[in-house]
Structure 1
Amino acid sequence: MRFARIWQRLLGVERAVVEGVEFDSEAEVLVARVRPRKGASRRCGRCGRRASWYDRGEGRRRWRSLDLGPVKAVLEADAPRVNCREHGPTVIAVPWARHGAGHTRMFDDLVAWLAVHTSRTAVAQLMRVAWRTVGAIVTRVSRDASQVGDRLAGLRRIGIDELSYKKGHRYVTCVVDHDTGRLVWAAPGRDKATVGRFFDLLGPERSAMITHVSADGAEWIADVVDQRCPNAVRAADPFHVVAWATDALDQVRRDVWNTARGGRGGRATEASKALKNARWALWKDPDDLSQAQQARLDWIARTHPRLHRAWALKEGLRWVFQLSRQGLPRLAVTALDRWIGWARRCRIPAFVDLARRIVRHRNAIEVAIEHRLSNALVESVNTKLRLITRMAFGFHDPHALIGLAMLALGGLCPPLPARTRPA
C-alpha cells in the first residue's frame, strides 16, 4: 500500500488506483497499469455525466506521462465506451488525462507552460515530442482552460485589431479588454464575418453593454461595431491616424525624390540621394532628432518648401493628440478643426485626401480625444503576439498560435505540475 501511494505521487494519478508497475525493455518505457477509482468510472469523456455501459472500445491504451529521470513513463488502462444520452457512444473519462489526449494532464500542463516561456524547438527536444504535438497540446490546454468561467463577462471597453502572422495575407483578429489588459478572444481572419463571430459569441445583451471600442479606421471593423454595439462609442486609434499622415508625407517625399531624379527611370543625383536618406528625419519626433537629422530637415526647409510643409502638416496632426494626452480635449478639438482647414488649403493632393479621410472618421477621432482612448494596449499585445509567432515558428495551424497567445496573454497559462502558485 505504501509503495502504491508513492507511485501515485510520482505518476500524478492520485485519483486512480495503481495496479502494478513494470519496465518494458523493448520500448524502454516504464509502464504503470492503472484504473479509475470506483466513483470516477463510467462517466462520459465529453461531459463527465454518468452513463450506461456500451462496449470495451479498442481495448487497453497508453497515455504518455512525465519522464522519471531519463526513462519515459506511460500509463496503461482499459478504455471502454459508455452510451451518453447527449454524445452517444463515447470513451469513458479518465481522471489523469483530457478527453481524446494521448498524454496525461500533468504532461500537457508542463508542455503548455514551457511553450509560453521558451521556444517550441526547446520544448520538443526537452519533452521528446514532435513539433506538431506541441501545437496540439497548446490548443487542447487553451481550449480546456477557456471553458472554465466566462472570459467575456463584464466587458465594457474593448480594442479590436488584426495581426499578420504569416505570408500570403494570413491574419488573426484580436480583441483586448482595456480594463484588464488581457487578450479575451482571437480568431483567424480579417473581415466583417470574423468580427461578427465575436459579437455572436458575446450575444446581443452583452454587446449592448459595451461602452467604448477602439480600433483603426478599417471599415470592416467600424461597420460591424456600429451595427452590433448600439450603445458604444467608437474611438479611432491616434497612432493609426498619425500613421495616415506619415504615409501621406512619405508619398510627397517620393514624388519630390522622383522629380529630383528627372522622373521615373532617371539617374540618381546628389539631391535625390539626400532626399532618399531623409526619411527618418521626416518621420521621427523633432525632439528625438540627431544633429545630422536636424541639419537635413533644415536643408529640406530651404530647398524643398512643399515637402517641408507636408512635414509640418504631419507634426500638426500629431500635436492634436499630444494636447489630448495633456488633458486639454477642447483645445485639441479646436486644433483639429484648424488642421483640417489647413490641409484642405495646402494644395498637396496627399494631404487633401487625408483631410477628407479624417472628416469621414471625425466622430471616432473626437471620441479618442475626449476619452483619451487608443489602441496602444492592443498594439502592445500585437507586439507580444509577433514575438510569440517567432517563438512558435513552425505552427502550421493558426489555432495553435491562438492557443499559445491565450495562454501567454489571456491569463490561461496553467501552473507547473504539483505547484500551487500560478505561472
Structure 2
Amino acid sequence: MSRPSEDGSSYTAHLKDLDVAKPTFAIPDIDSFCLVDQLGLTITGQHLEERRAVLECRVLQHDPWCRNCGAEGVSIGTVVRRMAHVPLGWRPTTLLVRVRRYRCADCARVWRQDTSCAAAPRAKLSRHAVLWALKSLVIDRMSITRIAAGLGAAWHTVNAAVLAAGAKLLINDPARFQGVEILGVDEHCWRHTGAGTHFVTVIIDLTPVRNGTRPARLLDMIPGRSKQVFKTWLDAQTTDFRDRIAVVAMDGFTGFKTATAEELPQATAVMDPFHVVALAGDALDRCRQRVQQDTLGHRGRSGDPLYGTRRTLRTGADLLTEKQHQRLQKVFTVDEHVEVEATWRIYQKIVTAYRNPSKSEGKKQLQAVIDSLRRAVPRRLHELISLGRTFNRRAADILAYFDRTGTSNGPTEAICESGSGWSGTGRSGWMSVVSNRV
C-alpha cells in the first residue's frame, strides 16, 4: 500500500480498492482492542515475545475510601495480580495488573483496589478469557488441552473455570425452565470401562423443536439412572413447571414412565420412534443370531449367508438396491431361515408406519402390527413374543407419538451421543446455550 498523503487521498483510494463504502473509524485505542476497558483496566505497558505477550495494566477505579469509617486511605504501594487473557495474535497473553493498596489512618484498615470486574476472586483467568475458553470448547470444538495451551494456563485451571462458567450460564439460571412444555428424558453412559456406574439421566427441553424456533435445550444432567433419580428431579421443580408439562418423550425404560405418571399425571408419555425401531431391530438381530447358531452351529462368520445380510436386514425395504433385494430373497428361500424372514417383515412394517407421511395412516399401520403381535405368535418366534409383550405394555405410549407432533426423543439422543467426554456435559447442550448467551 502506498504511504498516505497528508490529505489522506492515498488511504481513501486504498479503501475503495477494498470495496469499503464510507468507513467510519475511531481513534486507535489499545484498551478497547485488547478488551481490557470492559474489565475496568487500562494498559500502561507491554512486553512482547515470540510465544507470549504480557500487558501491564492498572485499575481505573481508585477507591481510596475506608469501608469501616469512611476516611480517605493512604496509598502504601502496589501488589501484582497475574491473570491469563484472551490470546492476541495467537500468542498466550498475560495481564500483569498492578493493584494499589491503601491503609486507613484512623482505623488502620488495609484494603486493595477492587478487581472483581476483571476476574473472579483468586481466579487465574480474566472474565474474557473464561468466555473465550467456553466458546472455544463448545462452538469451535477445541479440546481443553488446546485451550489451555492457547491461554498459557494449566489444564485443571481452564477446566475448572469453564465448568463454573457453564454451570452459571445453564444450571444456575432459573430462566431456563420458563416456557418448557415438552420434556425429553434419556440415560447416557459417559464411560464404558472401570468399576461403578457411569450413567447419567439427561433431561431436555423439546418445546423449541415442536415450535420450530430453535434446537432442543439441555436442561439438566443428573448422576444415576433410575425411577427415583427422575422422580426426585421432577419433585424439586416448582408446581407451575410441573403443571405446564404436557408431554414427556422417553425410551422404553419403565422407570421414566412410572416417575412421569406419579409426578406429572396430566402429561402424556410418548415412546419415541428411535427406541421403538431399535427394539424391533434388536429382536431381528437376536433372531438372526439364534437361527445362525441352530443351523451352522457357530456364530456368524464371513461367508455365512445370514451373517452377510446383517446390515441389509436393518435397512428400510424402500431403500434397498436391486442387488440387496436379490441377496435377501436368496437367504429367505432357505426353509431354515423362515423365522428370520417373519421377524424381518414385522421390523419393516414398523419402519414403514413411521415413514408414512400421514400420521393417522401411520398410526393405523402400527396399531395393526401391535394387534398382530398380541395374537397367537408361533412359539419358535421367541423374539417376536418378547417384542409383542413390550409393545402391548407400552402401546398407548408408542401410538401417542402420532398424536403429538414434535415429541421425538431424537434430539435427546443427539445431545447424549455428542458428549465430548469433558466433565460429563454434552457438547451440543452447551452449544445451544453458549451460542445464544456468550
Match of 2:201 in 1: 173
TM-score normalised over the length of structure 1: 0.76
Residue aligning to 2:94: 73
Partner AA of 1:238 in structure 2? P
Residue 124 of structure 1 aligns with which residue?
148
| Closer/same/farther in 2, CA of residues 64 and 330 from structure 1, 3 Å limit | closer
The corresponding residue for 1:351 is: 384
Shift of 1:232: 0.4
Q: Does 1:379 align with 2:413?
A: yes
Moved more, 220-229 or 163-172: 163-172
Counterpart for residue 84 of structure 1: none
* Distance across 2 between alignment mates of 1:302 and 1:122: 57
1:115 is aligned to 2:118: no
1:236, 1:368 within 8 Å by CA — same for their partners in 2?
A: yes
**Which residue among 136, 157, 167 is the counterpart of 1:133?**
157
1:98 counterpart SS class = coil
Pick the aligned partner of 1:294 from 325, 341, 349.
325
Deviations along 1:141-188, one digit per CA (max 9) or x if unpaired, are: 212323455101111011111223222352332222222222222233
* Residue 430 of structure 2, aligned match among 387, 404, 407: 407
Query: What is aligned with 1:85?
Result: none
Map of 1:267-306 to 2, 5 A cutoff? 273-303=304-334, 304-306=337-339
Give the drift of 1:42. 9.4
SS of residue paired to 1:150:
helix
Instruction: Answer with 219-228 or 188-197: which moved more.
Output: 188-197
Gaps of 5+ in 2: 1-26, 68-75, 102-112, 209-215
After superposition, residues 210-229 of structure 1 pair within 5 angstroms as: 210-229=245-264
1:30 and 2:54 aligned? yes
Residue type of the alignment partner of 1:317 = I
Q: Using the TM superposition, give the Cα deviation of residue 139 of structure 1 relative to its aligned residue in structure 2, in angstroms.
A: 0.9
Counterpart of 1:130, as a letter, is: A
Residues 346 and 314 of structure 1: CA distance in aligned 2, closer, same or farther (over 3 Å): farther
- Asked whether the equivalents of residues 310 and 351 of structure 1 are also in contact (C-alpha less than 8 Å), the reply is yes
1:175/1:40 CA distance change after superposition, 3 Å: farther
Counterpart of 1:375, as a letter, is: N
Task: Answer yes or no: is the 8 Å Cα contact 1:15–1:37 preserved in 2.
Answer: no
Distance in 1 (CA, whole Å) between partners of 2:122 and 2:234 is 30
Matched, 1:322 2:355: yes
Q: Which letter does structure 2 place at the counterpart of 1:242?
A: V
Instruction: Check conservation: 2:43, 2:55, Cα contact below 8 A.
Output: no
Deviations 1:42-99 (A, max 9, x none): 99xxxxxxxxxxxx9xx7532222345447322435599xxxxxxxxxx966111134
Higher relative contact order (CA 8 A, sep 6+): 1
Percent sequence identity over matched residues? 20
Question: Aligned runs of 1:133-282 on 2, under 5 Å?
Answer: 133-146=157-170, 147-148=172-173, 150-168=175-193, 170-180=198-208, 181-261=216-296, 263=297, 273-282=304-313
1:159–1:178: 8 Å Cα contact kept in structure 2? yes
Query: Does the aligned pair in 1 maintain the 2:189–2:199 contact within 8 Å?
Result: yes
Q: Distance in 2 between matches of 1:335 and 1:41?
A: 80
Alpha-carbon offset, residue 278 of structure 1: 1.5
Q: Which of the two has higher C-alpha Rg?
A: 2
Residue equivalent to 2:371: 338
Give the aligned residue type for 2:319: D
Equivalent-residue separation in structure 2 for 1:275 and 1:106 (angstroms): 58
Q: CA offset at residue 353 of structure 1?
A: 1.3
Once residues 414 and 206 of structure 1 are traced to their aligned partners in structure 2, the CA distance between those partners, rounded to angstroms, is: 23
Cα distance change on mapping 1:324 and 1:42 into 2, 3 Å:
farther
Distance 2:65 2:386 in 1: 69
| Contact 2:305–2:331 (Cα < 8 Å) also in 1 | no
Deviation sequence 1:289-323 (CA, Å, 0-9, x none): 23332122102221022221111122223333334
CA deviations 1:111-137 (Å, max 9, x no partner) are 111112132144333333333333223
* 3-state SS, counterpart of residue 333 of structure 2: helix
Deviation at 1:411, TM superposition (A): 4.4
1:249-272 per-residue CA deviation (whole Å, 9 max, x = no partner) reads 1111111111222x358x9796xx
User: Counterpart of 2:322 in structure 1: which amino acid?
Assistant: Q
Change (3 A) 1:40 1:157: farther
| Count of matched residue pairs | 375
Q: CA deviation at 1:199?
A: 1.8
- Whole-Å separation in 1 of the counterparts to 2:354 and 2:339: 24
Residue 62 (str. 1) matches residue 82 (str. 2) = yes
1:310 paired with 2:343, answer: yes
Q: Distance in 1 between matches of 2:313 and 2:128?
A: 54
CA contact (8 A) 1:204 1:228 kept: no
**Pair 1:414–1:5, CA change in 2 (3 A):** same
Q: Is the 8 A contact 1:111 1:138 kept in 2?
A: yes
* Deviation of 1:105 (Å): 1.0
Distance in structure 1 (CA, Å) of the matches to 2:325 and 2:156: 51
TM-score of the pair, normalised by structure 2: 0.73
1:319 and 1:35, CA in 2 relative to 1: closer, same or farther beyond 3 A? Answer: same
Letter in 2 for 1:164: C
